[in-house]
Every structure is written in structure tokens, then in C-alpha cells.
Amino acid sequence: MKHLISVFNLTKDEVDELFRLFTEFKAGRREVLEGDVALLFLESSTRTRLSFEKACRNLSLRTYFAGTKETSLEKGETFYDTIRTLSSLGFKALVFRVPFVLFPYSAYLDEGISLINAGDGTHQHPTQGLLDLYTAMEVYGSVEGLRVLYVGDIAHSRVFRSGSYLFNMYSAKVGVFGPKTLIPEDLKPFGVEMVFDNYEDALSWADLVICLRLQEERFKERYVPSKESYFSQFGLTLERYNKLKGYFMHPGPVNLNVDIDANVVYSEKSLILRQVQNGVYTRMAVLYKALKDD
Ligand code: CP
């Protein structure tokens, strides 16, 4: 596993091995890797950025961060030139968050450099998909036959596109529920079995609910009438929370009282903070596998 750009390129054996590494790192395994890692984030991030930095430092890798305002993309340089420049600076790995599809750019890297996707547009967020799967595996023991429901802005969600594929790989059943304007037409590649048209039916089906953020920054038109109407139809309200059979997740950041009622966001059925903690160990596993396979 030289690069991690899309979960579609991962085999089940690789995901199993990453889970084994995740579990060992979480249990305190220590490893020392040599080298420098560049983190280039052209979209904002709290969790992914800081947990990648922490994961690198836990493995003794040196980190170099640049955000949107700190690169010469601001001055009109192309991303192709940026990637060629970073490629020649001697980094062992490049961790990129970008607002466009990342995979074509791996062709422009010098040999021996790993490219790791930290979220590219609406396309993929592989480490988030992995950490969601691993968190579910920890909590439920196995996800085989588990009914996983994604709720909300499915159309713009890279978290859904990565996670759904991975849950499917492990024989979970995946359902979706959201505004009709935000449900993509072709859900087959992601292994979706059920598309619900009301929350109550979806809730009585689901063992695990994954709430998603309404990604208004990506809206090209008005897909929902208002945040209030969205919350009443698609939000995890207190009443719906009380009906939940299992747990709920959210990749973050949460829009309080839009995606989830502020009173239940960190309550006992919430796995949100566990997801955040598991993000560090998942990213340690990914970095270790990518750089150790060198
Ligand atoms: N889940 C996630 O990608 O969060 P950040 O945008 O804070 O990194």
C-alpha cells in the first residue's frame, strides 16, 4: 500500500492488516519511522489535520504543514506544479486535503513518495471511512449483518462514499435517508441496499446511525428550504435519539441543532469522541503501512 487515495483500491486483507495495526497502536505499540511528512490542507480541518500531525509525531515522523493561504497556489501556481515541487523536496509522504479529485496527481510523484488522501472534494475520505469502520468493529464486535444508516447530505459526502464501501466489504447492510435533492441517483457502487423516505422507518431498521453534515459550502443551488425544516425532518432530535436502538456517529464538524440536537451530541449513545480518538490510531496504521512497505 504505497498510496491511500481511495478505499476502492484497498483489498480486504489490507483493511484487516490496518485494523490489526490500529488495535496494536491503540494498545500502546511504539514504532519509530524516519523522515518528513508534508501536510497540505487546501480546505479547513480540525480533526483530520491534527490527528494526522499527532499520528506522524507518535511515529517520530517530522511534520510540515501548509494551509490554503500559505502556498503559492494563491499566486496562480497550478496544483501540478505544487505537487512536482513538493515531490522534489525530499518528503516521504504527502498528506493532502483538496477540493478536487486527487487520484490523477499520484502519477506526478517521484518514486518512493506516498500520497495519502485526507479528503478530496465530495470524492473520498479514506481514513475517515476506516476509522468509522474500526470504531463500529470495536463497539459492536463484528459489523457482519449490522444495519448502518447514513442520514443527511449524502450527495456531498466523501465520508459516506468511503465508509459505505468499507462497511459493505465487511458484509454490513447500508441504508440511506436524506432530502431527495441530496440523494445521488447511482448508489450501487457504494453497496446501498435501502433508501428510506421517512426517519421513523429508517430508525426502526438501523443498528448504527451515521449523521452527516449539511455541506452548504458545496451547494450549487438551494437544496433544502431552511435549516429549521431540515432539522425537523432529517436531524437527530431528542425524540429520535430516544428511539435509537444502538449508537450514532458523526464525522464532525457537527452543525448543532441542524444535524443533531445539541442536548444529545455527546450523550451516552454518541460515538463522536471515540471516532476522534480512533482517528489518531487509524492514521498511525495507515502511515506505518504506507511507509514501512517502502
Ligand atoms: N471529519 C473531518 O474530516 O473533520 P475535519 O474537517 O475537522 O478534519
CB 88 less than 6 A from any atom of ligand 1: no
pLDDT score at 294? 53
Report the distance separating Cα 70 and Cα 119, nearest Å: 19
Report the distance separating Cα 132 and Cα 134, nearest Å: 6
Please confirm whether the linkage preceding 251 is cis (ω < 30° from 0).
Answer: no
pLDDT mean across residues, the chain? 95
pLDDT score at 220? 79
Whether 43 and 161 map to the same domain: the answer is no
Q: Which atom of ligand 1 is nearest to the CA of 119?
A: 3
CB 126 less than 6 A from any atom of ligand 1: no
Has residue 1 been placed in a domain? no
List the one residue out of 216, 204, 213, 227 whose CA is nearest residue 151.
213
**Residue pair 38/92 in contact by the 8 Å Cβ criterion:** no
Among 51-60, 96-105, 268-277, the minimum mean pLDDT is found in 96-105
Label residue 224 by pLDDT band (50, 70, 90).
confident
One-letter amino acid identity for 196?
Answer: F
One-letter amino acid identity for 293?
Answer: D
Task: Please check the confidence at residue 174 and state whether its pLDDT lies above 60.
Answer: yes
Report the distance separating Cα 278 and Cα 286, nearest Å: 12
Whether 205 and 241 map to the same domain: the answer is yes
Centroid of ligand 1 to alpha carbon of 48 (angstroms):
5
Has residue 210 been placed in a domain? yes
pLDDT tens for each residue of 243-260: 999 999 999 999 999 999
pLDDT tens for each residue of 12-39: 999 999 999 999 999 999 999 999 999 9
CB 278 less than 6 A from any atom of ligand 1: no
Among 5-9, 154-158, 188-192, the minimum mean pLDDT is found in 188-192
Q: How many structural domains compose the chain? A: 2
Domain with 69 in it: 7-124+276-291
